[in-house]
Structure 1
Amino acid sequence: MRQILSVLVNNQPRVLARVASLIGQRNFNIESISVGETENPSFSRMVIVTRGDLPTITQVAKQLNKLIDVIQVEQLEKEQTVERELMLIKVEVPPDKRTEITGIIEPFRASIVDVSPQSLVVQVTGEPSKLEAMIELLRPYTILEVARTGITAVARGSVKKAAVL
């Protein structure tokens, strides 16, 4: 089962390495991780996506809480979470096919952010399923490169609804 953990940590060197190492030692694969400074520059928030059952994820969260630089660990519930990802996708497109690409990306609210003689770079944001759909639609045009940020997420509403683990 896909799980999203929001981990508030001190904004210090090597914290990311310690968190990733702990998760790896528990034999979990990190599907996605994004890290950035919070509203307080002393802290960073890590949004980690992994797979596992709830008791196992709860155990991992307890282990994370034991790390000295970890302030709080929350499990974000899908129904109560806003999650987004950014993707840049470079596609081989000759000039005579660019109108087709524009027609494909418009419904996704994506944009062309770079143009070269034989390729375009498209930027799209949204839930991972939206990004996967974009990849599938652009596949016939020869995808040259894909770069994704990983998921970032917050609990919906003005009050935190995430489960503190």
Structure 2
Amino acid sequence: MIHKHTISVLVNNQPGVLQRVSGLFGRRGFNIESITVGESEELGLSRMVIVTTGDDNTLEQVQKQLYKLIDVIKVVDLSSNPMVERELALIKVSAEPSLRPEILGIVETFRSAVVDISPNSLIVQVVGGSDKIDAMVELLRPYGIRELSRTGVTAMMRGGAK
């Protein structure tokens, strides 16, 4: 059965690691829906959070292949555990002054923020799970989305697990 997986990959912070990891996914026929990379809690190590879809067998094969890469330290399927997932999106919306109260109502409902105002547009910042971002985009679409930028998902297991 095919479903969404969120994988955390702890790697050495070296040039080319991102390319080798993403290339492995491509060779296995896996599409990467989102990937975020940044420093981890350990000096010299970065954490990649990769969201992809596939069946459990294929995911297991990808995990085994990842461990064969010299710079990969640890691979964890976060989606098999309770996790906290967040994404950030900036959405530039057409906003004539007469429509702004409606748009601000949507922004307030989603506990989001307007981070820029110009004479004919607003930039809205929304933080939350991917479903929340998708819902916000759909509600703002009728007003005219001029530009959309999403960070991709970052995640970690809940509680004391590492």
Q: TM-score interval w.r.t. the shorter chain? A: over 0.9
Quick one: distance in 2 between partners of 1:155 and 1:2?
16
Q: 1:32 aligns to what?
A: 34
Q: 2:66 aligns to what?
A: 64
Structure 1: 5+ residue stretches without partners? 161-165
Amino acid at match of 2:115: V
Query: Secondary structure at 1:27's aligned position in 2?
Result: coil
Q: Using the TM superposition, give the Cα deviation of residue 79 of structure 1 relative to its aligned residue in structure 2, in angstroms.
A: 5.2
- Superposed CA deviations along residues 98-135 of structure 1, whole A, max 9, x for unmatched, are 11111111111100001111000000010111011101
Quick one: distance in 2 between partners of 1:129 and 1:32?
14
TM-score, with structure 2 as normaliser: 0.96
Query: Secondary structure at 2:152's aligned position in 1?
Result: coil
Structure 2: 5+ residue stretches without partners? none
Quick one: distance in 2 between partners of 1:45 and 1:60?
17
Q: 1:15 aligns with which of 7, 14, 17?
A: 17
Tell me if 1:42 matches 2:79.
no
Q: 1:85 aligns to what?
A: 87
Please tell me the root mean square deviation across aligned C-alpha atoms, in Å.
1.0
Contact 2:93 2:121 in 1 (8 A): yes
Amino acid at match of 1:124: V
TM-score, with structure 1 as normaliser: 0.94
Alpha-carbon distance change, 78 to 93 in structure 1, aligned in 2, over 3 angstroms: farther
Q: 1:163 aligns to what?
A: none
Percent identity reads 59
Q: How many residues align?
A: 160
Range 78-87 or range 14-23, more displaced = 78-87
Query: Secondary structure at 2:32's aligned position in 1?
Result: coil
Amino acid at match of 1:46: M
